[in-house]
Amino acid sequence: MAREDDKLDLMSKLLQMVAPGTAFRDGLENVLRAKTGALIVVGYSPDLMDIVDGGFSINCEFSPNHLYELAKMDGAIILSEDIRRILYANTQLIPDPSISSTETGIRHRTAERVAKQTGKLVVSISQRRNVITLYQGTLRYSLKDIGVILTKANQAIQTLEKYKTVLDQALTNLGASEFEELVTVHDVCNVLQRIEMVLRIKYEIKRYINELGTEGRLISMQLEELVGNTEYEMVLLLKDYARDPSEEKIKDLRLALKRLSSEEILNHHDLARLLGYPHSNTALEEQLSPRGFRVLNKIPRLPSIIISNLVERFEYLPHIVMATIEELDEVDGIGEVRARAIKEGLKRIQDQVFIDRHI
């Protein structure tokens, strides 16, 4: 699964390199519109030069127009790693023919084999199909029309809005249950599941934003507005309910949740197991007490070190709620003024979640 994460990171990096608004994408679009086709390799290395035959050295500054003019010749173009210079033009690439390829066209087959053999980014622009295809290692991706991506991104934003509304209600209901001391493993897994689903939609939209480049600014603003602090909410939830709330364990939990399949994320038993609870039919009904990280973070101007001190001293949220001002005052870093602010803040949060709770 780590390999899958690496693939997603590579895809994100590649899409940013060829995003609309970049000089490289302008050059690719010029070639595409001219219907001349092109084979472009990004990055110089001895391995690459071993399979290069003929052509001539250019070593000039990169510009969309230069790329367009050089693409009129049949051979491949080699750019520097940072796409700031055009190094060679009209070269013939001769990759190892024993490397497997699923492509049928000569240009695309060459691009795939060069990408697999050298690990470099190879861009193939089809002369007939009018498609820009990216290859790097075993990765292959055809760039979509901007209008199509915008439509998909807007649909994903609408889906995200619905999921976020459901998540917000689930968090409110959980907050009310926390104050009533009625939280079960099932309740926690339900919220965890909804947060993870929202984050998965977020990552999908971020990929669209990378591919949209300068055209994706509005989508990016909407995304930030919708899910700005959701990942932090996830971390606080894990710190409240994971059997082991250490920083290292929380980091491992986040990775484990990302790696769950779509089916596994819907299975509360799998989520409970990750949190450290036994896999049994009755485990989901086991009652839990939150440590209080999530609720305490809602109190304005309460530093994280003070929250940690409170949890260390009282262990669970119900104990903090029941503590007197004098008992709160005894905690390191809390004076009488802050103790009163904590009491009032908890009362205000409790009143709000009871009002907003959906029965």
Q: Give, for all 359 residues of the chain, the pLDDT tens digit.
A: 444 556 667 788 888 899 988 999 999 999 999 988 999 999 999 989 999 998 999 999 999 999 999 999 989 999 999 999 999 999 999 999 999 999 988 999 999 999 999 999 999 998 887 889 999 999 999 988 888 899 999 999 999 999 999 999 999 999 999 999 999 999 999 999 999 999 999 999 998 998 898 888 999 999 999 998 899 999 999 999 999 999 999 999 999 999 999 889 999 999 999 999 987 778 889 999 999 999 999 999 999 999 999 999 999 999 999 999 999 999 998 999 999 999 999 999 999 999 988 65
The structure tokens 């009871």 sit at 354
Amino acid at 236: L
Pairing of strands 139-142, 38-42: unpaired
Total number of residues shown for the chain? 359
CATH architecture of 19-143: 3-Layer(aba) Sandwich (3.40)
- The residues, ordered by sequence, that sit 6+ positions from 8 with a Cβ below 8 Å of its Cβ are 203, 207
| CA–CA gap between residue 359 and residue 357 (Å, rounded) | 6
| Every domain range in the chain assigned CATH 3.40.1700.10 | 19-143
Give ranges for CATH 1.20.1260.110 in the chain: 145-290
Kindly give the pairing relationship between strand 76-79 and strand 38-42. Answer: parallel
Distance (Å) of CA 198 to CA 64, 159, 204, 281, 348? 39, 9, 10, 27, 27
Q: How far apart are CA 90 and CA 103, in angstroms?
A: 22
> Which CATH code is given to the segment(s) 145-290?
1.20.1260.110
- Please, where in the chain does CATH 1.10.150.20 lie? 291-353
Tracing tokens 């052509």 back to the chain, one arrives at 55
Q: What is the pTM of this model?
A: 0.81
Q: The domain 291-353: what is its CATH number?
A: 1.10.150.20
